[in-house]
């Protein structure tokens, strides 16, 4: 159990901890000289059952409330200290408000300096304490009169703390590891040490971690948990981690950062939250109001963006967006406290809901409905609610990461919610079973209608189809969804076209007749210099728009390619030219060839040769630098006939199609093949 002190300055918090544990938590020279606590102090008390109680002693002075907040997060039990001679004081109330905002519900009140007060004075202060606690999470807490001078009540208080420790259940070690850093120092012969409270998960010696938000990678060399050497540190423990790695130094790590599982490293500077303004505030919270955000051990500037129509009145509660001056490492469900910019008072606090808050459309009814779903503390309840609200899908990878869930936790969550998932290059998207079925039916219905209206077209464009659907999945997620239907044999993907499995494009008898007349003109001996659309129309005495329409149609069917405007080549001819440029590259000493070398091989004039090579450049088959070109072996199968070189898969499956760097071959991303012959190759967009 982690016990945190709270209370006004000079009410005896440090003396009480020393009486309970034998440890003086004032470690700074200035603290000794001034006789007050300035920074956090730590002590440990072995319990009869073999466990260890950790004490976090916080300063009581109003100037050091930010240090108090750094130690308050993660405590299980609060030891509220009130001096019998003073009674309730300003920092008593502020610390109590902070305890309330952080959701700490277990605690005990120590009425210190009892030897300085008469029985009547004690009773009066106790009555005042009970009245003050009545409206807080510590209502009904026990009050024990103690004196560090006479020793009155110390043993009784210690036994009560042991009993409370037995009643508090150990935090689950499930979830990914997070430790909020409150100290960083160097020990001679050991190296860099960070200390803090483990907020979730577990860490073991040898684990690789990241210090966030800075992103510093490190390895755990050794662990002290609850002031004892250990192989593992668990949620709910005070831990000291000996970190090692490139750049890991005392100066590179600061209070406010977190040591965490590398999978969780995704800092944020814009967070949607539920915020409560303290009843004692004199003014309402207005739009874009500045404040200081305290989360775990972090302290950063923030602006409050109201998501409702009216200011938040004292005692009121509402959804807000917090726009931070700098990123922090956090998790959904974490508690936070806001103080005014002068650091003189606490104004309120609440709970983080969504770490990926949108900068636009943040006040729409749909967005507010999402926030109501995010407000569920239970991940299962939150996920179920989100799946039933627009946009009716959830980025499961982001959801799990922001709630510090492991992959195993996320998989179990999906099963319990009876959700279905699609895997994309950027993560996993989840839908409810009902929405998944509705989406499947909508896709099949849309394709049936399209084929009925356009029997001469190969299919519906992937993006137009996606834009018709609800839920409208992100493009990578929609592609993955369609690939699932393809594997099930219900649809087929032909490059950028989507069609029903049994649909085949066939030319009308009239178009078939015209195509038979066109083929000899653009094939045969003239295949490398075919006539253009206007010339074909003149030769066949057919209207030019009719010829253009037919050639574009057979282009979509994969029988021809529009190499330049109105200049079509048979697909077989394009495949033959691919082999010619491969041979040109092979014949060249350094694998680079010129346009003149290609022109001489096809014998069709410099202008047409340049147009052909520019066509191959656009589609990444060739890579140009100045007057030289080289082949891109990863794109050679784009126009080849089946059986030539690598297996052909034109528009049939996911292939590497993005342009690669001339030297490094970078950029070989996976994307959906197939495209109109004059367009640039589609680039792969990964889900974020």
CATH code at position 286: 2.40.30.10
Q: How many CA atoms lie within 13 A of 365 on its CB side?
A: 0
Above 60 in pLDDT, residue 651? no
Tell me what pLDDT residue 45 has. 94
pLDDT at residue 67 tops 80: no
pLDDT digits (tens, 9 = 90+) for 357-382: 999 999 999 999 999 999 999 999 99
Mean pLDDT of 49-76: 80
Average pLDDT (413-426) is 94
- Note the maximum CA span of the chain: 118
Q: What is the pLDDT of residue 61?
A: 58
Q: Residue 130: its pLDDT value, please?
A: 96
- pLDDT exceeds 90 at position 642: no
Residue pair 70/336 in contact by the 8 Å Cβ criterion = no
Residue 35 confidence (pLDDT) = 52
Q: Is 532 exposed, middle or buried (0-12, 13-18, 19+ CB in 10 A)?
A: middle
3-state secondary structure of 222: strand
| One domain, residues 547 and 651 | yes
Q: In residues, how long is the chain? A: 688
Q: Say yes or no: 307 and 249 in one domain.
A: no
For the chain, what is the domain count?
6
Per-residue pLDDT at 656 exceeds 50: no
Indicate whether 255 and 154 sit together in one domain: no
Question: Of 170-179, 430-439, 440-449, 624-633, which gets the smallest average pLDDT?
Answer: 170-179
**What is the predicted pLDDT for the residue at 443?**
97
Q: What is the 3-state secondary structure (H, E, C) of 292-345?
A: EEEECCEEEEEEEEECCCCCECCCCEEEEEEEEEEEECCCCCCEEEEECCCCCC
pLDDT of residue 659: 32
Final residue in a domain of this structure, among 138, 167, 196? 167
**In the prediction, which pLDDT does 634 show?**
82
Predicted confidence at residue 660, as pLDDT, reads 33
| Per-residue pLDDT reduced to its tens digit, 441-499 | 999 999 999 998 887 777 898 899 999 999 999 999 999 999 999 999 999 987 778 99
Residue 530 maps to a domain: yes
Is residue 580 located within the same domain as residue 650? Answer: yes
Across 626-639, average pLDDT: 86
* H or E segment and range at residue 450: helix 433-453
Residue 593: per-residue pLDDT: 94
- What is the average per-residue pLDDT within 160-167? 91
| Cα(460)–Cα(447) distance, integer angstroms | 7
Q: Which residues pair with residue 178 across a beta bridge?
A: 200, 260
Closest CA to 563 of 520, 610, 516: 610
pLDDT of residue 649: 29
Let me know if residue 512 belongs to a domain: no
Residue recorded with tokens 């494009």: 505
Does some domain include residue 506?
no
644-670 CB burial, b ≥16 within 10 A, e <16? beeebbbbeeebbbbbbeeeeeeebee
Domain boundary among 209, 233, 264: 264
| pLDDT of the residue at 26 | 67
Stretch among 71-75, 304-308, 675-679 having the lowest mean pLDDT? 675-679
Element housing 216 (H / E): strand 216-225
Q: Does the pLDDT at position 132 exceed 90? A: yes
Which parts of 465-577 are beta strand (E)? 491-494, 497-500, 560-564, 567-570
DSSP of 15-59: HHHHHHHS-----SHHHHHHTS--S-EEEEEE-TTS-EEEEEE--
Average confidence (pLDDT) over 549-574: 91
- 463 and 570 co-located in one domain: no
Statement to judge: residues 584 and 547 lie in one domain:
yes
SS3 state of residue 78: strand
Record the pTM: 0.77
pLDDT above 70 as % of the chain: 90
pLDDT at 278 over 50: yes
Task: Tell me if 378 is assigned to some domain.
Answer: yes
Q: What is the distance between the alpha carbons of residues 403 and 355, in angstroms, rounded to a whole number?
A: 10
666 and 542 within one domain: yes
Helix then strand then coil, in percent of the chain rounded to 5, is 35, 30, 40
Could you tell me if 149 and 19 lie in one domain?
yes
Quote the tokens at residue 12: 């005896």
CB 80 within 8 A of CB 95: yes
The answer to whether residues 154 and 51 belong to one domain is yes
Mean pLDDT of the chain: 88
Residue 276 counted as domain residue? yes
Domain enclosing residue 82, as ranges? 2-167
Residue 330 to residue 269: CA distance in whole angstroms: 10
319 with 225, same domain?
Answer: no
Which of 71-85, 124-138, 303-317, 418-432 has the weakest average pLDDT? 71-85
Percent of the chain topping pLDDT 90: 74
Listed in sequence order, the residues at least 6 apart from 576 whose beta carbon sits closer than 8 Å to its beta carbon are: 527
Structure-model confidence comparison of residues 57 and 120, the more confident one: 120
> Would you place residue 670 in the very low, low, confident or very high pLDDT band (cuts 50, 70, 90)?
very low
Q: Tell me the CATH number at 380.
A: 1.10.10
How high is the pLDDT of residue 29? 52
Q: What is the CATH number of the domain that holds 63?
A: 3.40.50.300
Residue 278 included in any domain: yes
Cα 310 to Cα 164: distance, rounded to the nearest angstrom: 43
Do 442 and 469 touch, CB atoms closer than 8 A?
yes
Q: Is residue 684 part of a domain?
A: no
Residue 219 host element (H or E): strand 216-225
pLDDT at residue number 557: 79
- Tell me: do 49 and 102 sit in the same domain: yes
The span from the CA of 411 to the CA of 398, in Å, is 13
Question: What is the Cα–Cα distance from 196 to 183, expressed in whole angstroms?
Answer: 7
Cα gap 175→173, rounded to integer Å: 7
User: Do 439 and 574 fall into the same domain?
Assistant: no
- Domain end: 144, 167, 190, which one? 167
Sheet holding 419-424, edge to edge: 394-395, 427-432, 419-424
Q: Which pLDDT band holds residue 171 (cuts at 50, 70, 90)? A: low
Report pLDDT digits (tens) over 575-617.
999 999 999 999 998 999 999 999 999 988 899 999 999 999 9
What gap in Å lies between CA 626 and CA 283, rounded to an integer? 67
The answer to whether residue 679 scores a pLDDT higher than 60 is no
pLDDT for the residue numbered 666:
35
Does 677 map to a domain? no
Q: How confident is the model at residue 40 (pLDDT cuts 50, 70, 90)?
A: confident
User: In sequence order, what DSSP letters do the residues of 547-567 get, joined into one string?
Assistant: HHHHHHHHHHTTSEEEEETTE
Could you tell me the pLDDT band of residue 409, with boundaries at 50, 70 and 90?
very high
Q: What is the pLDDT of residue 65?
A: 74
pLDDT band for position 682 (cuts 50, 70, 90): very low
Nearest to 668 by CA among 653, 646, 683, 650: 683
């Amino acid at each position: 159990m982690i016990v945190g002190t709270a209370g006004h300055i000079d009410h005896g918090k440090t003396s009480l901890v020393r009486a309970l544990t034998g440890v003086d938590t004032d470690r700074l020279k200035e603290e000794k000289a001034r006789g007050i606590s300035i920074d956090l102090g730590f002590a440990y008390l072995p319990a009869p059952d073999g466990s260890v109680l950790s004490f976090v002693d916080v300063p009581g002075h109003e100037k050091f409330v930010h240090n108090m907040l750094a130690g308050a997060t993660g405590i299980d039990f609060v030891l509220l200290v009130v001096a019998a001679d003073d009674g309730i004081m300003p920092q008593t109330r502020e610390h109590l408000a902070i305890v309330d905002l952080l959701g700490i519900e277990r605690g005990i009140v120590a009425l210190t300096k009892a030897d300085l007060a008469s029985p009547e004075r004690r009773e009066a202060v106790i009555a005042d304490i009970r009245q003050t606690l009545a409206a807080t999470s510590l209502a009904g807490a026990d009050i024990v009169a103690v004196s560090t001078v006479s020793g009155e009540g110390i043993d009784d208080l210690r036994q009560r703390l042991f009993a409370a420790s037995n009643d508090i259940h150990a935090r689950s070690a499930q979830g990914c590891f997070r430790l909020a850093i409150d100290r960083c120092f160097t020990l001679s012969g050991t190296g860099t040490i960070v200390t803090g409270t483990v907020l979730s998960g577990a860490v073991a010696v040898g684990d690789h971690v990241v210090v966030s938000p800075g992103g510093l990678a490190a390895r755990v060399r050794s662990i002290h948990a609850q002031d004892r050497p250990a192989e593992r540190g668990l949620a709910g423990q005070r831990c000291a981690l000996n970190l090692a790695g490139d750049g890991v130094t005392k100066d590179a790590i600061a209070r406010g950062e977190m040591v965490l599982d590398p999978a969780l490293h995704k800092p944020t500077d814009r967070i949607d939250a539920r915020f409560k303004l303290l009843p004692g505030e004199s003014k309402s919270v207005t739009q874009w109001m500045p404040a200081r955000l305290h989360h775990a051990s972090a302290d950063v500037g923030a602006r409050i963006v109201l998501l409702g129509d009216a200011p938040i009145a004292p005692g009121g509660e509402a959804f807000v967006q917090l726009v931070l001056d700098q990123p922090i490492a956090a998790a959904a469900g974490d508690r936070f406290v806001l103080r005014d910019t002068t650091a003189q008072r606490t104004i309120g606090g609440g709970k983080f809901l969504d770490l990926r808050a949108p900068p636009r459309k943040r006040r729409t009814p749909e967005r507010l409905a999402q926030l109501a779903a995010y407000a569920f503390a239970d991940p299962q309840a939150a996920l179920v609610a989100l799946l039933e609200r627009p946009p009716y899908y959830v980025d499961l990878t982001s959801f799990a990461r922001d709630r510090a869930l492991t992959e195993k936790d996320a998989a179990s969550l999906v099963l319990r919610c009876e959700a279905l998932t699609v895997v994309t290059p950027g993560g996993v998207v989840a839908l409810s079973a009902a929405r998944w079925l509705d989406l499947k039916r909508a896709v099949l219905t849309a394709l049936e209608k399209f084929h009925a209206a356009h029997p001469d077209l190969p299919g519906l464009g992937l993006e137009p189809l996606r834009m018709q659907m609800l839920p409208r999945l992100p493009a990578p997620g929609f592609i993955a969804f369609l690939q699932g239907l393809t594997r099930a044999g219900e649809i087929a993907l032909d490059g950028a076209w989507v069609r029903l499995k049994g649909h085949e494009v066939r030319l009308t008898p009239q178009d078939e007749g015209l195509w038979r007349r066109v083929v000899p003109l653009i094939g045969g001996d003239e295949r490398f210099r075919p006539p253009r659309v206007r010339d074909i129309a003149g030769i066949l005495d057919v209207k030019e728009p009719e010829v253009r329409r037919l050639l574009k149609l057979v282009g979509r069917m994969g029988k021809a390619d529009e190499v330049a405007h109105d200049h079509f080549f048979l697909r077989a001819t394009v495949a033959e030219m691919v082999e010619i440029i491969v041979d040109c590259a092979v014949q060249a000493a350094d694998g680079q060839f010129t346009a003149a070398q290609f022109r001489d091989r096809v014998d069709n004039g410099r202008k047409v040769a340049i147009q052909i090579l520019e066509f191959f450049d656009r589609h990444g088959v060739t890579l140009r630098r100045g007057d030289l070109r080289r082949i891109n072996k990863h794109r050679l199968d784009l126009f080849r006939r089946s059986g030539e070189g690598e297996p052909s898969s034109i528009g049939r499956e996911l292939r590497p199609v993005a342009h690669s760097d001339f030297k490094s071959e970078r950029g070989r991303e996976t994307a959906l093949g197939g495209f109109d012959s004059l367009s640039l190759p589609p680039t792969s967009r990964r889900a974020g």
